Chain A
């Protein structure tokens, strides 16, 4: 088991920086996720941790040991690849035993540890099968067993669930989380699926274009995104045009929302960012802080109804409401009033690069 210190690491390919000056402290036994759109550098950073890429700048520590020049085979890592990378010419048992044989462990112990690992992923009955006879989910679990059977100091997973169908993906999420909990291995997990990241992680680093945008617990990243990119990438978000005027008055879509509570003084255009489920449709005419609009689209999803609403200023926003009763369902073309609660919203400066009303810190390490 290891803590990991990523200190100013950059990975440069020819003429561009795939990862630029990454600083992350990962605690022992933590489930840490690198999250970002494809091409953001998350897999590159994972491969730097694994030792498949050599970084050009910065230092990598496992515990207090410098790992910059340690080759992959000496790092004692377990890696689960996106395509599983099961050896096709070996049985399930041989696949899982591979790393143990490489470590010259006694035959009896190999037998025992492989059996235990296969039991853990519920595959002991398939140990003599060829990989080609396994389903995607089973291959996935062989890869998992193969990675953890060597008792790695660090478990690395590169989008392990992206090739599974939706239902299996949800089940494997729980399985992986449970496994990681019971083994208490430090785990670095790469995904582009924000929902998956929120579900499994202790902490998440959001990456974009090789730069870390924010590091935080799932709820911090969701509720207090530090910039417009994070707010947009995690979950769905409405961005409304606003303005902070004299006496810190906050104006959004033409509505005066009172005094803006900002961490620093600011004057000028702002972006008012609010989640669709944080907005509500006003029921009483007396309610304040409302914007008039018209429903232009409605999707009934069972649990929630997603309304697309065009505001008076022609901006379209999304509002999610729980579908509780018939009376509550609204139809297209209905005129509604959207209630804004400034306490829920995140307010960014004009360029969207900085949150003005939260204390977000992209390199917080607590």
Chain B
């Protein structure tokens, strides 16, 4: 409201310290973000100095290319869903209940995010790969053949577990700020437990959940390229 009450000032260019800061920020942004992305985008339409769509034609006519895109989408989509399924309940439990070793769990979750994806992938191979120790334990002791960690299913599995801390961090932050009296009001009015979470808590944290989901989706979508090669 306060900002709306102020008369709008017309922007006037003055050469003081802050206009220099503004101009250099814009210059940095143009040079290092907009220019590289746009030049790739524009170059994709140009072959031998002429406007040409053959790059795109090639991309969509070879299975090898477009299937990579489809698989990326598929993996990112399912990884996002499973990461939400893991991250949201975990965040709820961690913020609402008094658990032992709460801080330790928190630190471990953040550590997962800090480790490079390559190391995460490698450790999963050590555990569940063809010669992984968990795979071996299951086949030697129980005579059970675990499904392979390689391929689409394995990727979704690893991505979900690698990326759900994003969701956890975002959502637990949001849950801490949710007004507890709203939840109490719901219980007082007769709606409790899962129904209360569905009707009150989830809608309140939905913007944050979608942001976390976006982070997971983009990470999964982008990381796949490295692993493809």
**Could you say which residues of chain B place their CB within 8 Å of the CB of A102?**
189-191, 195
Contact of A83 among B179, B195, B200 (CB under 8 A): B179
B181 near A73 with CB under 8 A, answer no
Min CB–CB distance A148 → chain B (angstroms): 11
A228 within 8 A of B: no
Would you call A81 and B190 a contact (CB within 8 A)?
A: no
Decide yes or no: A72 and B188 within 8 Å by CB, A87-B200, A88-B204 being known contacts: yes
- Contact A98 B189, beta carbon cutoff 8 Å: yes
Of B179, B188, B200, B203, the residue contacting A73 (CB under 8 A) is B188
B181 touches A103 (CB 8 A): no
Contact B191 A98 (CB under 8 A): yes
Contact A73 B191 (CB under 8 A): yes
Residues of chain B contacted by A73 (CB below 8 angstroms): 187-192
Interface size class, chain B: 10 to 19
Q: Compute how far the CA of A82 lies from the CA of B179 in the bound complex, rounded to whole angstroms.
A: 12
Q: How far is the CA of A51 from the CA of B186 in the complex (A)?
A: 13
Contact A81–B185 (Cβ < 8 Å) = yes
List, in ascending order, chain B residues with CB within 8 A of A83's CB.
179, 181
The residues in A between 71 and 109 inclusive whose CB is less than 8 angstroms from any CB of B are 71-79, 81-83, 85, 87-89, 98-99, 101-103
- What's the tally of chain A residues with a CB closer than 8 Å to chain B? 26
- A71 near B192 with CB under 8 A, answer yes
The reply to whether the CB of B182 lies closer than 8 angstroms to some CB of chain A is yes
Q: Name the B residues within 8 Å of A99 (CB-CB).
A: 189-191
Q: Are A85 and B204 in contact (CB under 8 A)?
A: no
CB of A62 to closest CB in B, whole Å = 14
A-B contact pairs, 30 of them (CB 8 A): A50-B184, A71-B187, A73-B188, A73-B189, A73-B192, A75-B188, A76-B190, A77-B188, A78-B188, A79-B184, A79-B188, A81-B181, A81-B185, A82-B181, A83-B179, A83-B181, A85-B181, A85-B184, A85-B185, A87-B186, A88-B204, A89-B203, A98-B186, A98-B191, A98-B199, A99-B190, A102-B189, A103-B190, A146-B189, A150-B190
Binding site for B on A (CB under 8 A): 50-52, 71-79, 81-83, 85, 87-89, 98-99, 101-103, 146, 150
Interface residues of B, Cβ cutoff 8 Å to A: 179, 181-182, 184-192, 195, 199-200, 203-204
